[in-house]
Amino acid sequence: MMPVDVVSSRVSVRPAVTSAKGEARAVARQLGLVDGLSEEGGEASVILYVDHDDLWLQKADADRASPVRIDFASPKLQHRRRGGQNELLGRAVGVRAGETPTVIDATAGLGRDAFVLSDLGCHVTLVERSAVLALMLARALERARISSLQSVRSAASRMQLQCADSRSLQVPSGAVIYLDPMFVARRGTAAVKKDLSVLQALHEPAENQDGALFDWAMAQSAKRVVVKRAAKGPPIDQRKPSHTIAGKAVRFDVYVR
């Protein structure tokens, strides 16, 4: 059984269609949410909808028309493959001619940055402490590995997933640790803010959680630690980076070890 995080009780599992009740019950059992199939969803703040071949998240008070999915072959992510931010992210982790580092994405979330890094040639371990997101990532990787798009299959072959709290792990010497602490000040489209809102609803806020994660990262024998920040936001835990690679909306603070 997949390990369950401490906030799974905030999630209600529901079938997307009546005929998917069996699949929904199976997912609820896997996540330890056997009682999560009520019509009203109780006090849950997030709904995990289960269809025959799909999973998606929805804020309990949101319009059903705006689901949050993980699909590495989606047109949006394929468009992002050609975006300028990919170059910035690649430079931040140390991608250069003949060098594609091993990356530990310690806050995998929806896996989009991890996919971009693997598409650039990096071998990426996605670490996600939410059992709900980890299940969605696992299903998305299964689909990506049999995608009709060769680029998606190739990227997926360089991605592996762990459902765990990153702070319980020992990072291999020479790897790069990547952190995206879901900063509140992030600017972007309504879709970006919607996704961020759902991710934040899955996690119980904890005092200085970002600082504790950063302390863990800096204590590892990693080659560098890269932290995604709002373009004009303060550095994580007020710690000055070795250097910064900045775009219009976000920047990457790089801590070279």
Q: E-assigned strands of 110-195?
A: 123-128, 159-163, 176-179
Residue 35 is predicted with a pLDDT of 53
Q: Are residues 91 and 28 in the same domain?
A: no
CA neighbor of 30 nearest in space, from 42, 57, 46, 48? 48
Q: Are residues 41 and 108 in the same domain?
A: no
Question: Count of alpha carbons within 13 Å of 208, Cβ hemisphere only?
Answer: 7
pLDDT at 21 > cutoff 90: yes
Phi, psi at residue 150, to the nearest 5°?
-60, -35
Task: Answer yes or no: is 65 within a domain.
Answer: no
Q: Are residues 86 and 213 in the same domain?
A: yes
Q: Are residues 49 and 144 in the same domain?
A: no
Task: Answer yes or no: is 64 within a domain.
Answer: no
Task: Answer yes or no: is 213 within a domain.
Answer: yes
229 or 2: whose pLDDT is higher?
Answer: 229
Task: Answer yes or no: is 70 within a domain.
Answer: no
Task: Answer yes or no: is 52 within a domain.
Answer: yes
Q: Are residues 29 and 156 in the same domain?
A: no
Q: Are residues 235 and 173 in the same domain?
A: yes
Task: Please tell me the distance from the alpha carbon of residue 163 to that of residue 173, in angstroms, as a whole number.
Answer: 21
Q: Are residues 161 and 52 in the same domain?
A: no
pLDDT digits (tens, 9 = 90+) for 123-137: 999 999 999 999 999
Total domains in the fold of the chain: 2
Q: Are residues 89 and 44 in the same domain?
A: no
Task: Answer yes or no: is 206 within a domain.
Answer: yes
Q: Are residues 83 and 199 in the same domain?
A: yes
Task: Answer yes or no: is 101 within a domain.
Answer: yes
Residue 9 is predicted with a pLDDT of 62
pLDDT at 40 > cutoff 50: no
Q: Are residues 213 and 107 in the same domain?
A: yes
Task: Please tell me the distance from the alpha carbon of residue 113 to that of residue 204, in angstroms, as a whole number.
Answer: 23
Q: Are residues 175 and 237 in the same domain?
A: yes
pLDDT at 6 > cutoff 50: no
Report the mean per-residue pLDDT for the chain.
86
User: Which of 142-156, 183-197, 201-215 has maximum average pLDDT?
Assistant: 142-156
Boundaries of domain holding 113:
75-256
pLDDT digits (tens, 9 = 90+) for 88-111: 999 999 999 889 999 999 999 999
* pTM, full prediction: 0.89
Residue 64 is predicted with a pLDDT of 65
Task: Please tell me the distance from the alpha carbon of residue 124 to that of residue 112, in angstroms, as a whole number.
Answer: 12
CATH code at position 147: 3.40.50.150
Q: Are residues 237 and 159 in the same domain?
A: yes
CA-based end-to-end distance of the chain:
37
**End position of a domain, from candidates 17, 32, 59:** 59
pLDDT at 154 > cutoff 90: yes
Residue 38 is predicted with a pLDDT of 52
Q: Residue 167 burial by CB count (10 A; 0-12/13-18/19+): exposed, middle or buried?
A: middle
